Amino acid sequence: MSDEAVKSKLSPIYRYKDLERHAQKKLSHEVFTYIQSGSGHEETLRANEEAFKKWKLVPEFLQDVSTRDLSISVLGQTYPSPFLLAPVGHLGAAHPEGELAVARAARGKQVPYVASTVSTYTLEEIADTLGDTPRWFQLYCSKDPELTVSFLRRAEKAGYSAIVITIDTPALGFREADLTNQFFPVREGYGSANYFQDPVFRNRLDVTPEQNRAAAIDELVNITFQPKLTWKDLAFLREQTHLPIILKGVLHPNDAKRAIDYGVDGVVVSNHGGRQLDGAIASLDALPKVAEAVNGRIPILFDSGIRRGPDVVKAMSLGADAVLIGRPYVYGLAYNGQAGVEEVLSHLLADIDTTLATAGKSSIRACQAPEFVQHLSNS
């Protein structure tokens, strides 16, 4: 029996902690810690999960839930599932097939995929693997505006339907675990594909990445993040693409209001999964005030802390139009490649469907009402 056949026959895993534990067995200590950990003392990482425990669903029974609809509409498009796959960089560290294995799983389940700038495979390779599966491209604005524009052009050409600009990374968070392990995946080349194959980036180099990989990675590290990025730069970016622009990393309602003022098409309430500013507010705790500030004018997506079906429903009840999942599918990838990601997606979809039925709701959209959840402090 082939290795792939053996992998596909691995016992299914339903509990998130079990999935995490099995992924840990597959990965080196450094790689697992990179995926699992957050910044600093990991207060925000823990707060993201704890925040969901503060909210409780309030079901209504004797409703017809014989059929249930998990579909959502975002930016004029209808998707069959209420979640998208969040942009996660350096997936080649978790599995040799990295983003391509994830893309095949997303295609099989028709779950939209947000591809990361710092991917192990190029955005074009990911798009080809996705086929007609909906896809967005997550953008780190570079110190080189010409390179940023090149990424936008490539994403448009490859059929991505939205640009997700991450705004919470003017610099990399102080990640104590990675510093302790001295593991930096970008230095290992796991996030270099889009840069090394980009003509603008290659023109910045004295010799090609194939000739001097170390020098190319040094340049990549130097220009990946743009600490000078401001709201005024959004006007420039808006002029460079016809695609919808979504800002990822919004926690303050004032930022949500500014996003609308600057013509942004959507926001993602996110604290980067607790990997950037330690001590920051949990994403779920930020969501209601952001939703109040937006007041339905643009779509709100949510990430950081989603682990299971009720989490998805709670986030949508508090104002999200869709959610993003990250670590769960990365653990599935590490554990069993494409089949592992497919399993995570199948189980999450089943959990959401069961949550709807047992809460007396026939559609995920029917959950988008504040009276469906209650905060423990108000009980």
Q: Which of 302, 364, 332 is nearest to 48 (CA)?
A: 302
Residue 365 sits at φ, ψ, to 5 deg, of -70, -30
Beta strand extents in 284-371 (DSSP E only): 300-302, 322-325
Which residue carries 């990424």 as its tokens? 151
Q: Which of 22, 90, 95, 272 is catalytic?
A: 272
Read out DSSP for 324-340? EE-HHHHHHHHHHHHHH
Verify whether residue 272 is a known catalytic residue.
yes
Hey, what long-range contacts does 215-223 have (CB within 8 A, 24 or more apart)? 216/192, 217/186, 217/187, 217/189, 217/192, 220/186, 220/191, 220/192, 220/195, 220/196, 221/186, 221/187, 222/143, 223/142, 223/143, 223/144, 223/147
Residue 364 contacts residue 313 (beta carbons within 8 Å): yes
Cβ(269)–Cβ(320) under 8 Å? yes
Contacts of 330 (CB under 8 A, 6+ apart): 23, 35, 88, 91, 94
Rg (the chain; Cα; Å):
20
C-alpha separations of 224 from 12, 46, 59 in Å? 38, 28, 46
What amino acid positions are annotated as catalytic residues?
272
